[in-house]
Amino acid sequence: MPTLTLIVPLAYLTVLAGSLICFSFFYRRRKAGQIQQLEPWFPPSPARDVYLSLLHTDPQPPPTLLRAALVTRAASAITSIITLREQKPALALLSQKGSVPESLQKEFDLAERWVNGEVQDIVLEAEGWEKGWGQVIFQTAGEVAGYERLRGIVKKHEEMSRVERAKYDAEMKEKGMIQEKPAEVKAE
């Protein structure tokens, strides 16, 4: 009888430990599957692909071209950083209210980690080209990114201006305030 009193608690502990191990195994497996299903926050970076393809080409391109590609890659990373900084407060507010799913917050966290890794990779590459350039490259890339952003705004403004001008001209023609320009008369 004393062995039975010892066997029952041991069997209970064994079943309990086994069920906890099984639960832990399947829970971790499910969570890992969910992480793999998360969509990337940013599309693949063409600047990164261009730099890496130039870096691994057989006839090595000139160093100035590689440096320019690295600066373009850094400008792309800065654009991603700015996007994340702009979206973080809104996502935090929506997440706090429960308006967005938890998976969106996880996607955002993965995007932040990816951008931090990209920045570290760019700094290491820049330091490989020239000592101390890792600190300067992002200043240059910031100027490039600012110029690209300004150029995009100007392009948008020009397009809007062209569309508005066409609308205005059509409206004025309709009201009869603008007449068609007569064709030039040939001198005889």
| pLDDT single digits (tens) 128-154 | 888 888 888 888 888 988 899 899 999
d(CA 89, CA 61): 42
Is the whole-model pTM more than 0.85?
A: no
DSSP line for the chain: -HHHHHHHHHHHHHHHHHHHHHHHHHHHHHHHHHHHHPPPSS---HHHHHHHHHHT-SSPPPHHHHHHHHHHHHHHHHHHHHHHHHHHHHHHHHHHHT-S-HHHHHHHHHHHHHHHHHHHHHHHHHHHHSTTHHHHHHHHHHHHHHHHHHHHHHHHHHHHHHHHHHHHHHHHHHHTSS-PPPPPPPP-
User: pLDDT tens for residues 76-112?
Assistant: 999 899 989 998 998 888 888 888 788 788 888 888 9
Domain boundaries, the chain: 41-170
